[in-house]
Every structure is written in C-alpha cells, then in structure tokens.
Amino acid sequence: MRTVTAYATPSAKAPFEKVEIQRRDLGPKDVLIKIEFAGICHSDIHTGRNEWGEAHFPLVPGHEIAGVVAAVGSDVTKYAAGDRVGVGCLVDSCGQCENCRNDEEQFCLGDGAVGTYNSQDYHHDNAWTDGGYSQNIVVSENFVLRVPDSMGLDVAAPLLCAGITTYSPLHHWGAGPGKKVAVIGMGGLGHMGVKIAHAMGAEVTVLSRTLSKQDDGAKLGADHYRATEDRQTFTDLAGTFDLILNTVSANMPIGDYLGLLKAYGVIVNVGAPAEPMEVNASGLIGGNKVWAGSNIGGIAETQQMLDFCGEHGLGAEVETISGAQIDAAWDRVVDGDVRYRFVIDTATFDD
Ligand code: NAP
Ligand code: ZN
C-alpha cells in the first residue's frame, strides 16, 4: 500500500481535513497517476453534504482528475510513465455484460460501475473508493483517458465529468448545424455545454437566471442569452428549440421549458437535484415532446470528447484553488459564484 495526502470531509456538516489515505499496490493492469488538478463538480457537494443520502464518510471526493502517469503495472500496454492522463467518474465495471461490451460502462449490469469515490470496489476487497482530492490514484488502465497534448491539465480536468456529461447528450440528440440548442444554467456543466454545442455547429442560447454572465456567454460561443427570471423569455422563445440541456442543480419547473421546445423537441436533464421534479403529461403530449436523462458517458465516448475538445481548442474556464480553500469553493458553487469551474492544485497539499 502507498500512503497519499488527500482532503476528506469527515461528515456532511464538517469542514475538510487534510488526511493520509492508502492507495493499493499496482496490479498488472494498474496505472499510478500523480494527480495535478482535480475539478470540483456539484455532484461532489450533493454527495459530501449527503443531499443524495448515500455518502460514506470520511469522504474524499473528486471525479475530474488530470495528472501524469508515475508508474505502470507489468501488463499495462496503453500508457507509460510521463503520459498526460485523466480519470473521470468511473474506475471499474464488470467488463462482461452487454452494456460494458457496448462501451457503456456507466450502465454496467454486472455488479455495477465502480465510482471514482464513495463506491465499493468489488474487484478490490469492497474497499470504499477515494477520489481525486488527493495527490495520486491507482486505476485500471481501461479507465484511464489520454489528455490531448494541446490541452493544459488544469483546463482538462473538468472535462472528465462536466465535458462528457454535456458532450454525450448533445452528441446523442444530434446537436449540430441547423439545430437550435438551449443550455439552462451556466455553471460548470452549462459553460461546457455552451462551448461544445457551439463547436458542434448548433445555434446556442443560454437560459440563465439573470443576465449577469451575458458577456461571458458570448465569449464561450452563445448566440443568444436570456434571463429566466424574466417571464417574457418564455413568451418570446415559445416553440423555439430542438434540444434543451438542463444543467441546473436545483429543482426546476420543467413544464415551463417544455413550452420552449419545437414539436418532437427534447429536453435532457443532466442536473440531479435530490427532490423529485414534476411534469404535467399534457406538456409532453402536445407536440410529442421528450423529457430525457443522461448519465455521464462511457470510457470510449469520454476519449472521443477529449479528442473533440483538443481538435476544437476547448477546455474549461477555471479558477485554481488550494486544498485549504475547498470549503469556501463549495460554498461559492452553491451560491452560483463560480466562473466556471474550481480546480484544486494538489501541489498545494504539501504547503
Ligand atoms: P454548478 O456549477 O453549480 O452549476 C449549476 C447552475 O445551475 C448554476 O451555475 C446556475 O446557473 C444554475 N442554478 C443553480 N441553482 C439554481 C436554482 N435554484 N434555480 C435555477 N438555476 C439554478 O453545478 P454543476 O457542477 O454544473 O452540476 C450541475 C448539476 O448536474 C448538479 O445537480 C450535478 O450533480 C449534476 N451532474 C450530473 C451529471 C450526470 O451524469 N447527469 C454529471 C455531473 C453533474 P445560472 O446562474 O446561470 O442560472
Ligand atoms: Zn461530476
């Protein structure tokens, strides 16, 4: 075992503490990664504050990991020491079931996908996984991604969750030239949704609570920017969009947004508030509309997304913080005060 410095939250209401955790010895197919940056996803906060009611403490969150390969096991073929790599929300799965064989490891039908944190790793003594708020991690090579050379590791880290979670539904539902796409909420996921939908060639509208981030929206690639606190927005944009991506972390009046879709239009929920959301069936029936969900993406699609972002010069807009600033950053994310992803510099753990 290898002792590693990490930041853990001891309970739902306690601040983070700097701790020592253990990483397993390298198995033949394992890769040891020196983590340089870890993004802060709102899912870390839902989990760590036990809003989803499934947290196992102490918890080391972090599923937006970018770093450099430090060592590889004897049978590793895909990576070598010095490679620039990432790890997202998944670190293992059964590998045998229909979904794993179809590159949809996130839907593993075997014993389930093993999450990067807060998950019991059935291939390794059912140990609870610890995530990326740490200085290194050991991951099977099949769950390691290659970061394009052109991309800084700091701006790459958030792509491992925010990037794939927006790329996958945009790709699946056909965002591209001639399509009108709206993104609700311009936070960590939302700002990547804007960049990626624009790069795919769609006409992009941001639906944010206020116009306070309008200038940024234009810089990220949005063609239009409207405030949802202004009811006129819902009148003006009725029947406009082919696709709406809802990235909001809180409960939303989905029925209001169904009215913004064209007939056969689709609203995809990636935002995952704890409370149930309500929809009146008539809002779906009128216009044959679809309310869909989307859960991250498989490993192959995550690599496709990284390569797409590399080709289009896309990375996250980041504010880099130290380990000691994690609590304050979580509060700022909840307050909507994030431009547009906090990224923890793990070198600061040595301070
Ligand atoms: P974030 O950075 O906090 O962004 C969420 C945005 O939603 C905010 O910037 C804000 O945008 C808007 N918002 C927040 N509270 C709101 C409220 N009460 N009413 C209306 N709008 C509000 O969070 P994130 O990291 O992007 O994550 C967003 C959600 O996606 C979370 O629920 C997270 O758990 C979930 N998620 C899901 C997946 C998946 O696989 N499906 C993966 C990752 C994350 P404006 O200020 O522009 O209005
Ligand atoms: Zn995430």
Ligand 2 centroid, distance to 340 Cα (angstroms): 13
What pLDDT does 351 receive? 87
Residue closest via CA to ligand 1's atom 18 equals: 250
Ligand 1 centroid, distance to 279 Cα (angstroms): 19
Does ligand 1 lie within 6 Å of residue 158's CB atom?
A: no
Q: Name residue 140's beta-bridge partners.
A: 30
- What whole-number distance in Å separates Cα of residue 284 and Cα of residue 139? 42
Q: What is the pLDDT of residues 139-188, one digit of tens each?
A: 999 999 999 999 999 999 999 999 999 999 999 999 999 999 999 999 99
Task: Return the structure tokens found at 126.
Answer: 């059912």
Ligand 2 centroid, distance to 43 Cα (angstroms): 5
Does ligand 1 lie within 6 Å of residue 208's CB atom?
A: yes
Does ligand 1 lie within 6 Å of residue 298's CB atom?
A: no
Would you tell me how many other CB atoms lie within 10 Å of the CB of residue 28? 11
The model's pTM is 0.98
- What whole-number distance in Å separates Cα of residue 244 and Cα of residue 289? 11
pLDDT < 70: residue spans in the chain: none
Residue closest via CA to ligand 1's atom 31 equals: 249
Does ligand 1 lie within 6 Å of residue 48's CB atom?
A: no
Would you tell me how many other CB atoms lie within 10 Å of the CB of residue 121? 16
E strand residue ranges, the chain: 2-8, 17-23, 30-39, 65-72, 84-87, 90-92, 114-115, 120-121, 127-128, 136-140, 145-146, 180-184, 203-208, 224-227, 241-246, 261-269, 290-293, 318-321, 341-345
Does ligand 1 lie within 6 Å of residue 207's CB atom?
A: no
Q: What is the pLDDT of residues 109-143, one digit of tens each?
A: 999 999 999 999 999 999 999 999 999 999 999 99
- What whole-number distance in Å separates Cα of residue 251 and Cα of residue 6? 32
What pLDDT does 248 receive? 98
Q: What is the pLDDT of residues 238-255, one digit of tens each?
A: 999 999 999 999 999 999
- What whole-number distance in Å separates Cα of residue 344 and Cα of residue 38? 5
Residue closest via CA to ligand 1's atom 25 equals: 42
